[in-house]
Amino acid sequence: MKFILTSELGRLAKWLRILGFDAEYYNSANIGTLIIRALRDNRMIIARRKQIGSLKVVIVESNKVKEQMKELIKKIDLKVNESSMFTRCVICNELIKPVSKEEVKGKIPAYVSETQQNFYLCGNCGRIYWQGSHWGNARRYIEEIAQRI
């Protein structure tokens, strides 16, 4: 395992070397080069701060997404804003826009057309969202995470 350490971790870099690890010490504010070096040499970035220059870094430890969410919420004090939920396309990260039922007619199942009133469209990938299907489970999921913190 190879490392690249940011400028504030010079002593740690030395200790890692003492222990025999390949630990590059990156004593510069040029973040672009730091990332390129890390990628090129397959080095793990070790940073002290969440923010390296303009690059924000947060370390998540769990490999389970529910735990990862909890870690994020704790570590960066991530605030889930009710009014921001379900405003973004899950697939491509674009903001979605409300559209009329007429506009999505023929693109959604008939039973959805009969039971739902509010539709949202991703202008980028064309995916259509409505309250019932995608969002019911997601809301429960978020609430469950929030309760267990």
Our finding on whether 95 is near Zn ion (CB under 5 A) is no
Our finding on whether 80 is near Zn ion (CB under 5 A) is no
Tell me how far, at minimum, the Cβ of 128 lies from Zn ion, in Å. Answer: 10
Tell me how far, at minimum, the Cβ of 134 lies from Zn ion, in Å. Answer: 12
The residues that bridge with 52 in the sheet, in sequence order, are 55
Name the residue nearer to Zn ion (CB basis): 39 or 92.
92
Burial class (CB in 10 A: 0-12, 13-18, 19+), 12: middle
3-state secondary structure 1-48: CEEEEEHHHHHHHHHHHHCCCEEEEECCCCHHHHHHHHHHCCEEEECC
Member of 89, 120, 121, 129 binding Zn ion (CB under 5 A): 89
Count, residues near Zn ion per rule CB under 5 A: 7
Our finding on whether 9 is near Zn ion (CB under 5 A) is no
Mapped onto helix, strand or coil, the DSSP state of residue 102 is helix
Spatial separation of the C-alpha atoms in residues 19 and 101, rounded to whole Å: 65
Our finding on whether 91 is near Zn ion (CB under 5 A) is yes
Piece of 2-10, 47-55, 91-99, 131-139 that binds Zn ion (CB under 5 A): 91-99
Q: Which parts of this chain interact with Zn ion (CB under 5 A)?
A: 89, 91-92, 122, 124-125, 127
